[in-house]
Amino acid sequence: MTTLPSLADSTLRQPQQVLSIRLGPLPADMSWPLLDAWLHAWLESPLVEPARPDTPHDPVEAQLQRLAWRIAVATPALLRGCGIPLLADGKVLAMVPPQDAAAPWQCDIAFAQLDGVAATLLLQACDCCVRWLQAVAWQAAGSDPLSAFFQSLAQDILPRLLPHAIAAPSSMALLQAAANLGIPWRHEGNGVFQLGWGVHLRHAFTSRLDSDSSIGIRAAGNKQLAAQWLRQAGLPTAVQRLVGNGEQASAAAQELGWPLVVKPLARDRGEGVSTGIGNHSQLQLALDKAAHYGWPLLLEQQAPGVCHRILVVGGRVMYVVKRLPVAVQGDGVRSIQALIDAANSQQLALPPWRRAPPLRADDDTRACLREAGLQLASVPAAGAWIALRAIESSADGGRDEDMLAAAHPGNLALALRAAALFGLEVAGIDMITPDIGQPWHVNGAIINEVNAAPALGASQSSRDAMPLLMQQLFPTGGRIPVELFVGGAMAEAAARQRRDELQRAGVACYFTTAQHSEDTTGQRHPLACSSLYQRCLVLLNDRSVGALTIAITPAQWRQEELPLDRVARVQQCGDAEHE
């Protein structure tokens, strides 16, 4: 038996889609810095053009190859912005010159194939990037090609792509973090993703995992029930009353006392929430606002302090942030209105999918400013943060302040207890406290909410925590050992022998060929599969599989696709050369 070079770091043949596009000539004075500046303004990562040892001698081909590479990078980025997780860049396969010198060149680009994503979406995204890259190259998009591009996206491309999104923002953050760490993943349909193989496999939907309690998720989504669970477990929460109309709300207010909080019963993202209610007039306004989402409503005694988000993953705190309302920062020169306008203009310079909610100079903003003795015409001091809302909310935006180092261990322990109470492996525990550095039981802190699907990747603190989060979920990297044995009967014998070796070492190893599969004991493992690809996919999705050996013929090795990006070992058996 001879051993081939390990392919542990090599790409195996996987399903892909190849697009053939046509590229016309570029300007003789082509400005690559101008084109790359345009790309850099909306791509998620820096543009680093790879060195090419085989640069074509034909200058036209060389130019078009550089353009094609940028199309191969831009197309997946556009899809990612629309919730379609094509995480790998495309690969330029071939540049074919035209028969007629005046005709366009043909360029073949390969992209990874995503299950559950129609090929037409890739075509639409690629076509958009081809048109705009060539337009910017010729400066045919006007004096401000970036704004024109974003306007084109909003009016034409995004309405066609967004309805087909399969990954929510939290899913995209999980998948990107998994890809960065080499953790395998796959779309299983309807926005559900598989992360990891075999015994390490997990399923995720947004930021929920299949290990999360479905009953706990349901309880956490009902604010009244969640508070009841917390109280019964001896954990601090708000004193509250459920009201079905204005008369009941007035009676509850008399009982609870001012100040109050009014919130819808089963909404998140801070929708319909009013705080600091100090009289019946303010109460009526708050009821009208919350009732937009339906009765009944919750009235709560307002706890002192600021909301802090504590993210818990797998029994460990990932981060703690103080959640501050959306605000503008003064420069000592401009008015609050001018600062709002400037902040909104800065957002317009970002691609649509990365923009924060626009800042609004509305009645809520004016009321918040009046509480601080300010108005829209006021000029705040340089460096001063001026809140535009009373509370932070996902609907209006906000800003986070990292508080992990300052958080008291007792508060972190409280968050862990709350997550465990609801059976949640991933949970966002919102604690309202005057001082996160003091233990909750000495300063009147409460658990305001338990979020079963906390937003991941939405803030810098969350993005910074993603590598640690994935390592917590996949401490061994999420992969099982997969070994390929290439040949005929000798390959099957070698694969079975290796299966038995791993089994004796305590690893639950399965064996498969294109025709049949066997379990850890050598018994036939019946599968309703008609190909090697399907059998491998099924076994990788089986949580009882701790390792996999595959016997594959030389013809299959050369021609067949596999649901594997890399394997631990490839061995060529002695009879392979005779097949």
Span 115-162, pLDDT tens digits = 889 999 999 999 999 999 999 998 866 678 999 999 999 999 999 999
CB 482 within 8 A of CB 548: yes
Tally of structural domains, the chain: 5
Q: Which of 436, 456, 473 is the last residue of a domain?
A: 473
CB 87 within 8 A of CB 76: yes
Q: How many residues does the chain have?
A: 579
pLDDT of 29 strictly over 60: yes
Are 187 and 248 within one domain?
no
Are 331 and 356 within one domain?
yes
Render pLDDT for 376-386 as a digit per residue (tens, 0 to 9): 999 999 999 99
pLDDT band, very low/low/confident/very high, at 60 (cuts 50, 70, 90): confident
pLDDT band, very low/low/confident/very high, at 9 (cuts 50, 70, 90): very low
Segment 338-348 shows an average pLDDT of 96
Give bridge partners of residue 76 from the DSSP assignment: none
> Which of 113, 2, 7 is CA-nearest to residue 557?
7
- Identify whether 296 is preceded by a cis peptide bond (ω within 30 of 0): yes
CA distance 289 to 547: 56
**Residue 520: which CATH number?**
3.40.50
Q: Which amino acid is at 400?
A: D
Only one residue has tokens 């401000």, namely 144
pLDDT of 431 strictly over 70: yes
Q: Which range has highest mean pLDDT (55-69, 137-151, 564-578)? A: 55-69
CA distance 483 to 154: 47
Are 439 and 548 within one domain?
no
CA distance 280 to 428: 33
Are 402 and 463 within one domain?
yes
pLDDT band, very low/low/confident/very high, at 22 (cuts 50, 70, 90): very high
Are 333 and 187 within one domain?
no
- The SS3 of residue 82 is coil
Are 316 and 421 within one domain?
yes
CA distance 268 to 450: 10
Find the angle CA(72)-CA(82)-CA(398) to the nearest 5 degrees. Answer: 125
Q: Which of 164, 193, 221 is the last residue of a domain?
A: 164
- The SS3 of residue 281 is helix
Q: Which of 158-162, 212-216, 321-325, 388-392 has the lowest mean pLDDT?
A: 388-392
Q: What's the mean pLDDT when you consider all of the chain?
A: 92
Q: List Cβ neighbours of 215 (8 Å cut-off, separation of 6 or more).
A: 423
Which pLDDT belongs to residue 186?
Answer: 95
Render pLDDT for 438-475 as a digit per residue (tens, 0 to 9): 999 999 999 999 999 999 998 889 999 999 999 999 99
Q: First vs last Cα of the chain: how many Å apart?
A: 15
Q: Which of 100-104, 169-173, 300-304, 362-366 has the lowest mean pLDDT?
A: 100-104
Which pLDDT belongs to residue 578?
Answer: 55
Which pLDDT belongs to residue 6?
Answer: 40
Are 200 and 81 within one domain?
no
Which pLDDT belongs to residue 10?
Answer: 42
Find the angle CA(327)-CA(333)-CA(338) to the nearest 5 degrees. Answer: 50
Are 289 and 423 within one domain?
no
* Domain-located, residue 280: yes
User: Which residues constitute the domain of residue 175?
Assistant: 169-206
Only one residue has tokens 């396969």, namely 93
Burial (CB count within 10 angstroms: exposed 0-12, middle 13-18, buried 19+), residue 381? exposed
* Domain-located, residue 221: no
